[in-house]
Amino acid sequence: MKKLIRLIASRIAFGAATLFIISLILFVGVEMLPGDAAHSILGQDATPDNVAALREELGLNLPPTERYLNWLGGVLKGDLGKSVVTKREISTLIGPRIWNTLFLGGFAAAISVPLALGFGILAATYRDSIFDRTINFTASISISLPEFFLCYLLILIFSAHLGLFPGISNVHADLTFSERLYRTALPALALTLGVFAYMMRMTRAAIVNLLAQPYIQMARLKGAAPSSVIVRHALPNAFAPIINVVALSLAYLVVGVVVVEVIFVYPGVGQLLVDSVSRRDVPVVQACSMFFALIYVSLNLMADVLTILTNPRLLHPR
């Protein structure tokens, strides 16, 4: 038990160190952007006095090290600062959008994860059959199509031609759960098609590799049914790679929503990030980027912990 706690603690410490490095890279990257942020915000007609006042308000007149420490200290305290464009607290600006992005990612995950695992297990069970070849061919096509092309294709088919779903996902707090699902269906389907093929093929590969193991052959020689071989013998030992694949896919569902949110005009963090970049709203850009980094690192940390719990051999040195 102590080894498990120490191993999980080390993973958490590694995740915290990763977030610190990401924050440093993010701050340096923003600092290296060409031009002056205050001058870009005020425009070409800004007077030197106005530029100087805005630079002082944004803290741009301070040394970079001091600005980074002030920003990092505020993030650790939960104070993300204010938007330089809207003058609103970033926490109130980004809060509803975080919920929207997580709802979209969760909706897509609820569709893609069961389908990918189910089709991956069936493809491994009936390997080299017509079903296996058909599903692999379909997955190859899905992987090959760019995400933005899938979005526009879905809008063309289901919105413009069939009229089944709206082409713009305009959601707000007053919508009921069913209405929110309806308006989020197309962007969720676009995200699902993007990760379904990857998860399905990796699940199939993990199980196929295990089916060649001697203990699987022994179970077959003893007369175990094919479904029993998969469910009772192969699948439990495939949990570790499958968990990693699912965690990475879930991270992509949340982090990779930027393109989908922009195309469907979905009011999430990705849309806010793109709008803030175009307006040179640096504090909001930093807050959105740190949110995506936190989600990605947290999901990978969760995958590491679940892998350790499902594979006790990781607790012992090799």
- Are 203 and 197 spatial neighbours (Cβ–Cβ below 8 Å)? no
Give the integer Cα–Cα distance in Å for 215 and 288.
48
Instruction: For residue 232, tell me if it sits in a domain.
Output: yes
Q: Render pLDDT for 6-25 as a digit per residue (tens, 0 to 9).
A: 777 888 888 888 888 888 88
State the residue range of the domain holding 294: 90-315
Query: Per the domain annotation, does 105 fall within a domain?
Result: yes
Calculate the CA 117 to chain-centre distance: 19
Least confident of 25-34, 129-138, 147-156, 230-239: 230-239
In a domain, 302, yes or no: yes
Domain count along the chain: 1
Domain containing residue 106: CATH number: 1.10.3720.10
How far is the C-alpha of 262 from the C-alpha of 274, rounded, in Å?
A: 8
- Give the whole-angstrom CA distance, residue 31 versus residue 37: 9
Domain-embedded: residue 53: no
Model pLDDT for residues 56-110, shown as the tens digit of each residue: 766 666 777 877 887 788 888 877 777 777 778 888 888 888 888 888 888 888 8
Res. 48: pLDDT tops 80:
no
Domain assignment present for residue 19? The answer is: no
pLDDT of residue 40: 63
Residue 5 lies in a domain: no
What does the alpha-carbon distance between residue 2 and residue 169 come to, in Å, rounded to a whole number?
49
DSSP string, 86-115: T--BHHHHHHHHHHHHHHHHHHHHHHHHHH
Per-residue pLDDT of 252-299, as tens digits, reads 777 778 888 888 888 888 888 888 887 777 788 888 888 888 888 888
Whether residue 27 is contained in a domain is answered as no
Query: For residues 17 and 83, what is the distance between their CA atoms, to the nearest angstrom?
Result: 27
The DSSP letter of residue 159 is I
- Is residue 48, in this structure, part of any structural domain at all? no
